[in-house]
Amino acid sequence: MSADRVSYTLDSTLETVNNAEETASRIAAEAGFDDEEIMKISMAVREAAVNAVLHGNAYDPSKKVTLAFELTPSDLVIVIRDQGKGLDTSKIPDPLAPDNLMKTSGRGIFLIRSFMDVVEIHPSQTGTELRMIKHVHGNPADSKEAPQ
């Protein structure tokens, strides 16, 4: 990465989802993560971008998605924001619950939490901010999720 922090403002389109994933993959590679970690980071970003574009901004062309990457000595911090109504975190389903196992959607946040070391969701009336962290030198003892 040429700078420690880069950010992008993106349209609410499917192309944004693919671009976000590709950018995350490139930045994670430049940060020195191995192939498996790069896949996890890029997939987490893809899922977050899907949520922002589809569920947050609902493909509204007047609404943007912002995506920021910051590399510190210990962490890759990724923040993605939409301009939707704000995610109701109480309605995030548990996709492993028996009643939900065969549902065709509702696995995005679960995958993000599975792949990243820290995941914070900050909804507001002007949109949702999803902040996720991958430790540069992964420590299995680190908690999987920060307090909401």
- DSSP tag of 133: E
Tell me if residue 130 falls in helix, strand or coil. Answer: strand
Binds other proteins by CB under 8 A, chosen from 39, 68, 77, 92: 39
Decide if residue 107 touches other proteins (CB under 8 A): yes
CA distance linking residue 46 with residue 72, whole number of Å: 22
CA distance linking residue 127 with residue 87, whole number of Å: 8
**Choice between 108 and 127, CB closer to other proteins:** 108
Task: With CB under 8 A as the rule, give the number of residues binding other proteins.
Answer: 20
CB proximity list for 68: less than 8 A, separation 6 or greater = 5, 6, 7, 8, 78, 79, 80
Decide if residue 92 touches other proteins (CB under 8 A): no
**Count helices and strands in the chain by DSSP H and E runs:** 3, 5
Decide if residue 17 touches other proteins (CB under 8 A): yes
Query: Which stretch, 70-78, 102-110, 119-127, 133-141, contacts other proteins (CB under 8 A)?
Result: 102-110
- DSSP tag of 128: E
Q: How many CB atoms lie within 10 A of CB 134?
A: 22
**Residue 146 CB, nearest distance to other proteins (Å)?**
20
**Residue 21 CB, nearest distance to other proteins (Å)?**
9
Binds other proteins by CB under 8 A, chosen from 7, 74, 114, 139: 114
Q: Which residues bind other proteins (CB under 8 A)?
A: 14, 17, 39, 43, 46-47, 50, 54, 95-96, 101-105, 107-108, 110-111, 114
